[in-house]
């Protein structure tokens, strides 16, 4: 689904789309090249590293405006 459709659905419910969450099985909680190619600037991307169905690590990233890579964001809570 395109981001625009997610944004429209959130707006209908008087909400705002902040970002996306996904997991990397047996891989670090860092964005891959595939992730970069399918991401949009302006959103947070929370990635969890999972192993044997346990979350090993969780980190948040934002794509740079020039799409050259990510900046890690602090996670609080």
Banded pLDDT at 77 (limits 50, 70, 90): confident
Q: Going by C-beta distance under 8 Å and a sequence separation of 6 or more, which residues neighbour residue 72? A: 59, 60, 61
In a domain, 58, yes or no: yes
In a domain, 3, yes or no: no
In a domain, 67, yes or no: yes
* DSSP one-letter string for 4-24: HHHHHHHHHTT----EEEEEE
Global pTM reads 0.82
Measure the CA–CA gap between 9 and 40, rounded to whole angstroms. 18
- Per DSSP, 74 falls in state -
Q: What is the CATH number of the domain that holds 35?
A: 3.40.140.10
Paired tokens of 42: 């302006």
Domain count along the chain: 1
Q: Return the pLDDT at 5.
A: 87
Beta bridge partners of 32: none
Q: What is the pLDDT of residues 19-53, one digit of tens each?
A: 999 999 999 999 999 999 999 999 999 999 999 87
């Amino acid at each position: 689904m395109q981001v625009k459709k997610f944004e429209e659905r959130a707006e209908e419910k008087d909400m705002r789309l902040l970002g996306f969450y996904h997991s990397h099985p047996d891989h670090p909680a860092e964005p891959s090249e595939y992730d970069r190619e399918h991401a949009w600037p302006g959103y947070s991307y929370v990635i969890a590293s999972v192993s044997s169905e346990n979350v090993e690590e969780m980190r948040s990233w934002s794509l740079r405006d020039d799409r050259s890579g990510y900046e890690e964001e602090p996670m609080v809570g």
